[in-house]
A and B are shown apart, each in its own frame.
Chain A
Amino acid sequence: MTNNELIEKLKGIIAPYIQDEAAFENLNEDTDFVKDLKINSANLVDIILDIEDEFDIRLENEDMEKMLDVKSAMAIVNAKLDA
């Protein structure tokens, strides 16, 4: 999967939970889930669970702690898919 394909998939997963529309339209690798998209802690968990389903991977607490922005989400998904 290319980086663009991965970002598009993540965008689809994140879309239902964002609060800041403008930040979402400009989403890029540096977009922060909490600071930019204003996603709350419970919805961050929903995103993690949806990522698990979409990519058929299992995420742990340490992955959750690292998953602060789009870049880190991409890195974690790629690492799990390669494992």
Chain B
Amino acid sequence: MNPEQIISLLPYQNPFLFVDGINQISEDGIKGHYTFKPDEFFYEGHFKNNPITPGVILTECMAQIGLVCLGIYLIKDELNSENQPQIALTSNQVDFYLTVLPGEKVTVTSEKEVFRFNKLKCKVKMLNEKGELIARGLISGMMKA
């Protein structure tokens, strides 16, 4: 399964799709990226006259790339036109270190910790273009076809 196929199977669309591309993927992990467009809908309110990407959106981006894209790859053999990916976020614990401004490109890397009984748990990191750590944490979800 190639990156374009994985992205096409994601259950999100604009304005809530936070995956532009996948650089690497294997059974053990994934690396992908997203560029926050200057006109994303949430910048109007977060914050007043001071647009900064909300932490919940950074977490969402980390989950979409690190958990959902990887999860789709892991269950690829069970997917077909009748069995689409079914997903649910079940927990996340994320620490934030740097802000992300409108127009910034972020890279998300995720390592699979465990995938058993449909539960996928990953160690996920987000870096900026300078390679500095923006956020890291543990994200888990249920994933099945």
Closest to A44 in B: B117
Smallest CB–CB gap between B32 and chain A, Å? 23
Alpha-carbon separation in the docked complex, A40 to B91 (Å): 11
Question: Cβ of B142 < 8 Å from any Cβ of A?
Answer: yes
Please give, as numbers and ranges, the residues of chain B lying within 8 Å of A64 by CB-CB distance.
117
Judged by DSSP, the binding face of B is: strand
A-B pairs with CB below 8 Å: how many? 25
Residues B117 and A48 in contact, CB atoms below 8 Å apart: yes
Residues of A within 8 A of B (CB): 40-43, 45-46, 48-49, 61, 64
Chain A, residue nearest B91 (CB): A42
Cβ contact of B90, chosen from A42, A49, A61, cutoff 8 A: A42
> In chain A, what residue has the closest Cβ to B119?
A45
Cα distance, A49 to B113, chains bound together (Å): 13
A40 lies within 8 A of B90 (CB): yes
Picked from A42, A49, A61, the residue with its CB within 8 Å of the CB of B142 is A42
State which residues 8-43 of B face A: CB under 8 Å.
Answer: none
Query: Which one of A42, A43, A48, A61 lies within 8 Å of B141 (CB-CB)?
Result: A42
Q: Is the CB of A42 within 8 A of B140?
A: yes
A45 to B116, CA, bound (A): 8
Q: How far does the alpha carbon of A45 sit from the alpha carbon of B119 in the complex, in Å? A: 7
Cα distance, A61 to B119, chains bound together (Å): 12
Give Cα A37–Cα B140 distance, bound, in whole angstroms: 21
Q: Does B98 contact A (CB under 8 A)?
A: no
Q: Judge if B118 is at the interface, Cβ distance under 8 Å.
A: yes
Check if B114 sits within 8 Å of A49, measured CB to CB. Answer: yes
Q: Within residues 85 to 106 of chain B, which ones have a CB less than 8 A from any CB in chain A?
A: 88, 90-91
